[in-house]
Amino acid sequence: MKKWLIPLLIIGAIAFSLYNWAVGFNNTAIDLKETATNKWGDVESAYQRRYDLIDNLVETTKGYAAHEKETLEGVIKARAEATQTKIDPTNLTPEKMAAFQQAQSGLAGALGKLMVVVERYPDLKADQHFKELMSQLEGTENRINVARNRFNEAVNPYNKHIKRFPNSLLAGWFGFDALEYFKSESGAEKGVKVDFGTDNK
């Protein structure tokens, strides 16, 4: 074998190994990120269910407490702001996630005020349709928490994959940025309080 072939073969073997590493990194990163973004879709779906239930809740409450105009309008406004805050799941930056969470917190706060108002209306609390909405809303809050936790669980392996050396050397070249975790604000892990005790049974 000619001597000049040896270094050429070595270079070719190194190049082939680097190519396989790059392809493996890229494909794995794509798969992990796709899983995470799909889980974000579940988060949005759970929040959308909350929005729909709140619409029905406001309409039902109007029938018993129409003069509670300020509170009802506050819920409607907060719901509108929450639904308008959209996030591209492939670009979950800290700023965008913070804006999303702020909008959701605003809606939760407005809904909490509505729950306080409802306490003053025994007939509303006894309404079967209202009680069913409360039950569904409580279940939806649980769905939201589960969806957020599963999203974070999916983000974790993706972020680890692109941050670990030497994968971190390729992440920037291939355009893979870390995804932001869903961080609960103080009290957010409890969701919206919808329990009225024995009145809601």
Give pTM, 2 decimals.
0.78
Give the DSSP per-residue string, 159-181.
HHHHHSTTHHHHHHHHT--PPPP
Q: Report the CATH fold assignment for 11-200.
A: de novo design (two linked rop proteins) (1.20.1440)
Torsion-angle region of 41 (φ positive above 0: left; ψ -120 to 50: alpha; else: beta): alpha
Please list the pLDDT of the chain residue by residue as tens digits (201 residues): 567 777 778 888 888 888 888 999 999 999 999 999 999 999 999 999 999 999 999 999 988 888 888 999 999 999 999 998 888 877 778 888 888 889 999 998 999 999 999 999 999 989 999 999 999 999 999 999 999 999 999 999 999 999 999 999 899 888 899 998 887 654 444 444 444 443 443
Which spans in 66-186 are helix H? 69-84, 94-118, 122-126, 128-163, 167-174
Tokens representing 119 are: 């306490």
User: In the prediction, which pLDDT does 198 show?
Assistant: 37
